[in-house]
Amino acid sequence: MHSVYVTLSLKEAAFPDENTQRTHLERVVAEVSAKPGFLHGYWLAPTDGVARTVIFYDTEENAVAAAPVPDSEHSGVARITGVELAPVLASA
């Protein structure tokens, strides 16, 4: 199993209301979960304009192929500021 840890900087007023944020998140989760080798993911609540996501894939190859490009725009609402890939050593 391999993980992808993504940090995003949200644009100011990216989500004018909770419904807009929920709709966007549902679209992102559907897109990511459809990628080859996807196992599961966690989208953490933003703190001070920074959002974090941890996604798990079955192989390193699938994780690398699915990882977003750092410093790129994401759906027009955020900039990807960090992407880290790492093998999973243990889970419970």
What pLDDT, in 10s, does the model give residues 31-70? Answer: 999 999 999 999 998 899 899 999 999 999 999 999 998 8
Task: Find tokens 């977003």 and name the residue.
Answer: 68
| Strands laid side by side in the 50-57 sheet | 38-47, 50-57, 2-10, 78-87, 73-74
Radius of gyration of the CA atoms of the chain, in A: 13
Class of domain 2-87: alpha beta
Model pTM score: 0.88
- Cβ-in-10-Å burial (0-12, 13-18, 19+) of 92 comes to exposed
